[in-house]
Amino acid sequence: MRWLIVGHGKITANFIEAARGIGHEVVAVAGRNSERASTFANKNGIEKSGEDLLILSEGVDAAYIATPHSEHCNGTTTLLENGVPVLCEKPLAVNHRQVEQMVDTAKESNTFLMEAMWTRHLPIYEEITDWINKGLIGEPKLIDASLGFNAPYEPESRLWNPKLAGGSLLDVGIYPLTLADLIYENSPENISALVELSPDGVDAHVAMTLQYQNSALAKLGSAINLSLPNSALILGESGFIEIPNFWCAQKAFLSQGSEKRESLRPHDINGFEYQIHEVEKCLSEGLMQSPKVSWECSLSMIRLMDNIRSQIGVIYPVDSEGHDGV
């Protein structure tokens, strides 16, 4: 496949390495500033660069959006309206209104759209769900997972700036919420969240407790001002599963009584290749959405994060654009 990448920040290195590693080409890069985009293109051996998404998308098979959260909706809808399939970084957008707009645009233009929630494609999760489906830990009753790192406070940066929809929930809290969704396969019935706000009113640290069907619980956390354990535990009535670095996991441990078993599923490249393969597969089958990260999956995740944001009082400038926002 021939790809356009939109944005040329930190994460694009992973995408380029994985795409090229599976024989795809990155042929164009779009940025806000032609000079910066051109420097990036030259450094990375990318043919075309510039600011105009539509010119750059000519002749590509799909685009990968890797801009700050506040920019996902604009870039994605522009491309979808012109029939360019899109893989857009997580979260698909800032709030439910934006995600709905993106999904509506994909439907109207008959064009593929998928959120780049790469964790959902990692091979280790096939093993983990297999253990659970075989009843090896009994019914899962508690998920304990967190993802957080201590980033310097830089008010203008993507992580901290409310205008760019910064904060820990949208950036990393989405991973433990995704894990709970993967395991429980339904939406929580009760949610409670507490927060430490940054000086600019984004969530530096969030602690969440969620209750699912049959009183199954999840204790989840996210932070951009604190290093958290960054691992996950799935506890059932007769055993438990530990997943180190669960958002990019390559191994898991199953414990039953005094017995502990390890499963290893190393990435072929860096882990991004599985979602890129998924886009290729969906396009070759003529699908507009992926069964692994469906539109409903992204819609229900953003509804959940809107709900959590309303509890912790995090409101972004973009929330008041258009309709009612959060």
Ligand X SMILES: NC(=O)c1ccc[n+]([C@@H]2O[C@H](COP(=O)([O-])OP(=O)(O)OC[C@H]3O[C@@H](n4cnc5c(N)ncnc54)[C@H](OP(=O)(O)O)[C@@H]3O)[C@@H](O)[C@H]2O)c1
Return the number of the residue (8 or 96) whose C-beta is nearest ligand X. Answer: 8
Among 31, 167, 173, 176, binds ligand X (CB under 6 A): 31
Q: For ligand X, which stretch binds (CB under 6 A), given 64-72, 120-128, 176-184, 209-217?
A: 64-72
The reply on whether position 115 binds ligand X by CB under 6 A is no
Distance CA 203, CA 196 (A): 6
Among 61, 71, 273, 278, binds ligand X (CB under 6 A): 71
The helix, strand and coil proportions of the chain, stated in percent and rounded to the nearest 5, come to: 40, 25, 35
Q: How far is the CB of 14 from ligand X (least distance, A)?
A: 7
Among 16, 26, 56, 67, binds ligand X (CB under 6 A): 67
The reply on whether position 120 binds ligand X by CB under 6 A is no
Across the chain, the runs of DSSP E, i.e. the strands, are 2-6, 25-30, 48-50, 62-65, 86-89, 113-116, 140-148, 190-197, 203-211, 217-223, 231-236, 239-244, 251-256, 259-264
- Pull the structure tokens for residue 164: 């760019």
Pairing of strands 62-65, 86-89: parallel
The reply on whether position 33 binds ligand X by CB under 6 A is yes
Considering only residues 214 to 273 of the shown chain, the ones binding ligand X according to CB under 6 A are none
Among 120, 121, 158, 205, binds ligand X (CB under 6 A): 158
Q: How far is the CB of 261 from ligand X (least distance, A)?
A: 28
Distance CA 154, CA 224 (A): 11
Distance CA 119, CA 90 (A): 11
- Pull the structure tokens for residue 49: 């660069």
The reply on whether position 171 binds ligand X by CB under 6 A is yes
φ and ψ of 139, to 5 deg:
-70, 125
Give the list of residues 6+ apart from residue 96 with CB closer than 8 angstroms, or none. 299, 302, 303, 306
Return the number of the residue (176 or 236) whose C-beta is nearest ligand X. Answer: 176
Q: For ligand X, which stretch binds (CB under 6 A), given 19-27, 30-38, 93-101, 218-226?
A: 30-38
Binding site for ligand X (CB under 6 A): 7-11, 31-33, 36, 66-69, 71, 89-90, 116, 118, 158, 164, 171
